Each structure stands twice: as C-alpha cells, then as structure tokens.
Amino acid sequence: VWISDSDDALEELMEKEKNTKAVFLDLDGTLFTDEKTFSAGNCQAIEEALAAGHHIVISTGRPLASAIMQAKELGFTKKGCFVISFNGGEIYDMYRKKSIFKKPLAMPLVRRIFDEALQCGLHCQTYSDSEIVTEHDTEEVKHYSSIVKIPYKVVPDVTAFLKSEPVKVLVVNYENKEHLRDYLEKTADFADGKINRFFSSNEYLEHVAPGIDKGSAVRFLCEYTGIPLCNTIAAGDAENDISMIRAAHIGCAMRNAEEEVKQAADYITENDNNHDGVAEIIHKFVLK
C-alpha cells in the first residue's frame, strides 16, 4: 500500500499521541515541600517530562488564582500544562490561558453552609475570581490567605457580594478535626446528595458540587486531550487525592501520605515530598 508523506506525518503524530502520558500532581504535601517550595529535583524532572511531550497537570484544592500563580512559578505555560483547581471544580488550560471546565455550587447551598458553620463556631469562606471571600475577619482566613498568597475580603453577606455562584466553600478549623467531623454529621441531612464533601487536610473540609472531585477532573481531561486513561499517573497525599489516585492508571501515594491514601495507591514512593518524591514518580513511570 502506498503511503504519502502526509500519511506518514499523520501516522507519526498518532503514534506520538498514543505514547503521550499525563501526570496529575497534587500541590501541598506532594509537589510542595513542607516549606511550600518546589525542589530542584522535582522541577528538573517536570521539565524533562514536558520536553519529551508529556502533559503535566497541577491538581489542587486551592483556588484557581493561587494555582495559576504556582503554575507560572514552575514555568507551566507550555502546551500540555493544565491546572485543576477547587478539587476539580474548575480546570484551566495554562497554554491557551482559559478555563475549560467549571461547575459551581448553587447559591442557596452556599448560604446554608455559611449559616451552619457559624452555628457550629467554625470559620467558613468561599472565593471570587481573585480573592477569598468571608463574613468574619478570623485568624483562620488570615493564615489561609498567607498560605495561598491571595488576598481576602470580609463582607456582610457573601451571597449578595458574589457576582456569580462560587465553585467551592471551605469550612476550617485549625485546632481539632473532630469539630469538623461533628459539623459534617450535624449537616448531613441537608447536604447529602446536594454537596460533595471531603477533607483535604485535618483542618480543611471541602464543599463542592455533586460529582466533583479530582478523579472526575482526571477523566474530563483525558477526554479533552485525547490521552487514554491507561497513560495517566497521579500522585497525592491526602483524602481529597484518593479519587484521583483511583481514577488514574497508576495511582501513587507519597511516602508522607495518610494511611488511607496509601491503601488506595498502586505505588508508594520511597522518597517523601521533601526529598524529590515527584521526581521519583516521573523517572519511574514517565521517562523510563
């Protein structure tokens, strides 16, 4: 059978796409060190993976504005660089500079979450496109703002202030996770089936739309990019990473991960987040 030059090029492109892998990386406790920095080893491995044509995806519970800031710091502006923010609630194409998926929470549910959290004595916050929005100026929001490096605004009523429905609401307690578990149990009747809720750390209880999690974001991006699920690798350390670890073909738990995350994983790194654990994953499953 005669094959033209254009057919050769098409065949080569298809073969390249078939071999392209997508690596989904959590930030805090995974790609970040405990000091919230990127290690040289991890950065080098990511650069090598991108140069080889693979896709690197930051997958975080952080707000989009914060995630984009961190992605830019890593040089994530090339084709194949994406950001999953709000635990899958919004997905952003760093190369094309546009949001490609967004599923918000209904505003009446946002109001109810804030009211229930207040009754339980817990800090509650949500997000606009550029800042954290809350109704009380607490130590929790000050600390959170310093971590994610975006400003916060205190308003009388978040539902009146916001111009559109937010993607996530976060209930925070830095003292005792049991206070958040009590709130979770107390609010189950109104929340079950209407809100997807899970912990991203002992201090943070996430609230997103039904069906939203990091795992659903993995599946969406595979469909969007054409990369098959069998070419996906994911890495994380906390409860909110479990859906992503299970969705990916190879799910990796960091050495420093919570025990339930390790149980869900196919591979546990020998090195933790402070010692190039992500580089270990990339060299073992992507660049080998």
pLDDT confidence band for 18 (50 / 70 / 90): low
Strands 267-268 and 204-208: unpaired
Whether pLDDT at 13 is above 50: no
Identify the pLDDT of residue 231.
97
Q: How many CB atoms lie within 10 A of CB 228?
A: 15
Identify the pLDDT of residue 288.
80
Question: Could you tell me if 53 and 22 are in contact, meaning their C-beta atoms sit under 8 angstroms apart?
Answer: no
Identify the pLDDT of residue 17.
56
**Strand stretches in 74-166, DSSP E:** 81-85, 90-93, 98-102, 123-127, 132-134, 152-154
pLDDT confidence band for 4 (50 / 70 / 90): very low
Per DSSP, 227 falls in state -
pTM here? Answer: 0.91
Q: How many CB atoms lie within 10 A of CB 219?
A: 16
One-letter amino acid at 99 equals S
